[in-house]
Structure 1
Amino acid sequence: MGIAEFPPNAAKARHKATGPEVAYVLEGEVTVQVDGQPDRIVHAGESYRMPANVVHVTKAGPAGAKVLATWAWIPGKPFNVAAPN
């Protein structure tokens, strides 16, 4: 479990997690971009989940964002894996 703070319009590059993730937006908003799906804007007070091994980008809105996330990590594997563009 951890808190990620995004500066305004900052994005976490394309990646996938080796385990599932559940996130709750504490402040601001984030756009979650998943390959093959429409972008989803998640506002403060809302949550989203990301299954394991789904390539995605998370981008903060113009005011930045603070996100509380819980991850299931598989020992011996890296958690976040960069994905090619």
Structure 2
Amino acid sequence: MGIAEFPPNAAKPRHKATGPELCYVLEGEVYVTIEGQQTQVFHAGDTFQLPANVVHLTSAGPSGATVLAAWVHTPGKAFNVPAR
């Protein structure tokens, strides 16, 4: 588990995680685009799940965002992998 803090309008580059992620938005709003799907917007109090090995992009809204995330991770294996 961990907390990700996004500055206003910050974006994490396209990537995929080797395990599933379960996220809870503590503050602000988060835009999530899974490759091939429309962008979804999540606000404080919302949860969302990202399946393993799915390329996605996450970004914060104009006020930034704070997200609590739980990951399933295999020790010794990279978790976040840049998209190709």
| TM-score interval, normalised by the smaller of the two chains | over 0.9
Corresponding residue for residue 74 of structure 2: 74
- Between the aligned partners of 2:76 and 2:46, the Cα distance in structure 1 is 32
Normalised TM-score (structure 2): 0.97
Aligned to 1:62: 62
The RMSD of aligned alpha carbons is 0.6
TM-score calculated relative to the size of structure 1: 0.96
Q: Which runs of 5+ in 1 are unaligned?
A: none
* Length, aligned pairs only: 84
* Consecutive unaligned residues in structure 2, runs of 5 or more: none
Residue 51 of structure 1 is matched in structure 2 by 51
Distance apart, 1:64 and its partner CA: 0.1
Moved over 4 A (4+): none
